[in-house]
Structure 1
Amino acid sequence: MNILIVADPLESFKIHKDTTFVMMRELQRRGHALAACEPQHIHWRSGGVVTASVRAVRLTGEANAWFEVQSEQALALKDFDAILMRKDPPFDSEFFYATHLLEQAEREGARVFNKPRALRDHPEKLALMEFPDFAPPTLVTRRDADIRAFHAEHGDIILKPLDGMGGTGIFRVKADGMNLGAIIETLNQGGATSVMVQRYLPEIVDGDKRLLVIGGKPVPYCLARIPQGNEVRGNLAAGGKGVARPLTERDRAIGEALGPILAARGLLLVGVDVIGDKVTEINVTSPTCFQEIQQQTGCDVAALFVDALEAALM
């Protein structure tokens, strides 16, 4: 099959940990042809079909020059057997427009994973609000008074921007309320920007677990991202330590409850973030942690993903 990867520039990949890289490696190992482009390379002219300037690539197996470009040309997206949308967050206006172009390509016959509409319908911070039984007490608001009331009720809270990634912009405010006003001003920008507020979960000391759900089924291992030093954030990008673990009974129950619902909406790959026994985020744009789990447990997550992709295309 011919597979198109829509992602950040290949030259920017850190292949020792990049999930899209191991997806590509497994696809090539199985004999599938690879091409790549960035969202800005997709275009649509009136009266025509959605097209992109794509590079046909082959992985070399080398650590430095890890891919080679075999050709470069404009091709209709509908002519690929599958398109993997793997552009990293943030979900900004350009990402939003890219999903519309990809959805038009779907109408022309393209198969896109994760589905563009599902990407738009599941903002990664807001998506968990649909599943209150699994989430901690959570508030989304622009209002200063709402946040202060939530803090008064719960005492120890986490505040974060809805469009953050990698742990950026996350604050903890304890019962003393120190700097709450300044943090609200920073995040909600005078009421112009929505903020997510959650009750602090002390189980974060044991890790912010990334559960991967592929084709509606949980991968048997998760990656616990453990905060280091005095840091409250477990995100690897914020210095957290990643430790792979077997799923607990509760982890598996979460994956089995949410997985089929999300898969039915066109989300082939989902990253569910769990602290203790509570879901804190549902990641759908470009979930990661494949390599960390495989390196520590031997579980070939990329192979599980390609199995699910091939099954979806049958």
Structure 2
Amino acid sequence: MKIAFLINQTHKEEEKFTTTLLALKALQRGHQILYIGLADFVYEEEQAILAHCRVVDPNEQIDSYSKLIEVLKACEKTLLDMNDIDLLWLRFDPTLDMINRPWAAATGIQFAQLVKANGRLVINDPDHLIQANNKLYLENFDKSIRPKTLVTRNHKDVLRFLEKQEEKIILKPLKGSGGKNVFLIQYEDRLNLKQTVEAIGRDGYVIAQEYLPDAIHGDIRFFLIDGEPLHLNGQYAAVRRVQGSNELRSNIHQGAKTEKVAIDDSILALVAKVKDKLKQDKMYLVGLDIVGDKIMEINVFSPGALYHINQLTKTDFTEVIIQDLEKRVKDFYDLS
């Protein structure tokens, strides 16, 4: 297969990224890998879509994540027709380009839609990613699985929400990732609320959520594949992320530690409540962020932490994913 990964920018890829794990496993299984940045597409007349790609062929000498990144960054870009690929995999983070390249994510999705319209398989489905590109996507799911939520840019609305919650709430950007601009607001600190809302709201809407006491134990990143829990040999692709002392955020690159987590029936029952819509929306690879009995976020663009999950569980979940994709791609074109 020819598998094209659409990422933000090639020179910013790292060896512990989930995309790197997936790409190396695909290479090891004999597939050709193409990396495409959000600025690399070309549109020609009659709906033809091309891209300047960094191409990596299966090679026994690429035997580690670090070697793959080294080879990738040394590649010269080649202009290729997207009709010649088997799969376009959208693995970029829209929030990384919000400030310096605000055009990048939306245009990337538009090009992906055209690639899909030309008959190529695209995951996660770009037509549905449009509605899933911020935290409001969670509001489309059963209310029992999500925290109480308000979205606004007006601090008076947030104050009203805080008064209903009485003690404390979480504030963060509606469109954000990586734990940036996440605040715990105590009721006694409400005099500073206006400034906090304005600071978060500089880049868009603000989301306020009820504070969940179980958050002191961190959260669980839980992977789904086509709506079903990703598992192998009795292990689930999941990890607990525990924030440091005096830290609110459970993001790994914000210093959170990872721990092996036991997945019980209550978590599986919670996950089961989102699978039908995720399948319907063709969200192929998804990372859920779970706190207690609630899902805090549904990550549909570039969910990470698979490196840490593989290390802790001593299980290679990338093998499961690429094997599943091989069958999925074959079925897609057999039916086309």
Shorter-normalised TM range: over 0.9
Deviations 1:206-245 (A, max 9, x none): 1111111112111224111111010111111211111131
Match of 1:211 among 198, 222, 234: 222
Answering whether residue 136 of structure 2 is matched by residue 126 of structure 1, we say yes
Q: Which among 199, 204, 207 is matched to residue 196 of structure 1?
A: 207
1:117 equivalent to 2:133? Answer: no
Q: Distance in 1 between matches of 2:276 and 2:315?
A: 22
Q: Is the aligned partner of 1:101 residue 2:111? A: yes
Figure out how many residues of one structure are paired with residues of the other and give that number: 311
Return closer, same or farther for 1:62/1:129 CA change in 2, 3 Å cut-off: closer
Write the distance in 1 (CA, Å) between the matches of 2:157 and 2:47. Answer: 49
Which has the higher mean CA deviation after the structures are superposed, 62-71 or 259-268? 62-71
Aligned to 2:187: 175
Amino acid in the other structure paired with 1:2 = K
Q: Secondary structure at the match of 1:36?
A: strand
Offset at 1:193?
A: 3.1
Give every structure 1 segment of 4 or more consecutive aligned residues whose post-TM-superposition deviation is greater than 6 Å: none
TM-score by length of 1: 0.93
| Pair 35,221 (structure 1): closer, same or farther in 2 beyond 3 Å | closer
**Given the alignment, which residue of 228, 245, 258 partners 1:242?**
258
Aligned partner of 1:226 in structure 2 is: 242
d(CA) in 1 for partners of 2:314, 2:9? 28
Which one has a larger percent helix, Structure 1 or Structure 2?
2
What corresponds to 2:313 in structure 1?
Answer: 297
Deviation at 1:170, TM superposition (A): 0.5
Match of 2:86 in 1: 81
Q: Which moved more, 1:275-284 or 1:297-306?
A: 297-306
2:171 and 2:182 in contact (8 A); partners too: yes
Where in structure 1 are there 5+ consecutive unaligned residues?
none
Which AA in structure 1 matches 2:63? G
Match of 1:165, SS? coil
The answer to whether the aligner puts 1:14 opposite 2:18 as a matched pair is no
Aligned residue for 2:144, secondary structure, equals: coil
- The separation in 2 between residues aligned to 1:177 and 1:95, in whole angstroms, is 36
Q: Percent identity?
A: 28
Alignment partner, residue 28 of structure 1:
27
1:71, distance to aligned residue in structure 2 (A): 6.7
Which residue matches 1:52? 51
- Do 1:124 and 1:284's aligned partners in 2 also have CA atoms closer than 8 Å? no
Q: Give, as a single letter, the amino acid of the residue that structure 2 aligns with 1:78.
A: N
1:148 aligns with 2:159: yes
- What amino acid maps onto 1:79 in structure 2? D
What RMSD, in angstroms, separates the aligned Cα atoms of the two structures?
1.9
Greater shift, 54-63 or 265-274, is seen at: 54-63
Write the distance in 2 (CA, Å) between the matches of 1:89 and 1:244: 29
Distance 2:82 2:328 in 1: 18
- Quick one: distance in 2 between partners of 1:109 and 1:254? 35
Further displaced range: 142-151 or 245-254: 245-254
Quote the offset at 1:49 in angstroms.
Answer: 0.3
Residues 250-309 of structure 1, C-alpha deviations (whole Å, 9 max, x = no match): 221122221232122121001111111111111111111111111001222212221332
Q: Does the residue aligned with 2:104 lie in a helix, a strand or coil? A: helix
> Which residue identity is paired with 1:108?
N
Aligned to 1:187: 200
Amino acid at match of 2:108: A
CA contact (8 A) 1:215 1:308 kept: no
Select 1:262's aligned residue among 278, 285, 301. Answer: 278
* Gap runs ≥5 in structure 2: 231-235, 332-336
User: Contact (CA 8 Å) 1:210, 1:224: kept in 2 or not?
Assistant: yes
- Does the C-alpha gap of structure 1 residues 63 and 47 become closer, same or farther in structure 2, counting only changes over 3 Å? closer
Task: Assess if the C-alpha contact under 8 Å between 2:18 and 2:305 holds in 1.
Answer: yes
Query: Counterpart of 2:26 in structure 1: which amino acid?
Result: L
1:63–1:289 distance in 2 versus 1, CA, 3 Å: closer
Distance in 2, matches of 1:68 and 1:254, equals 41
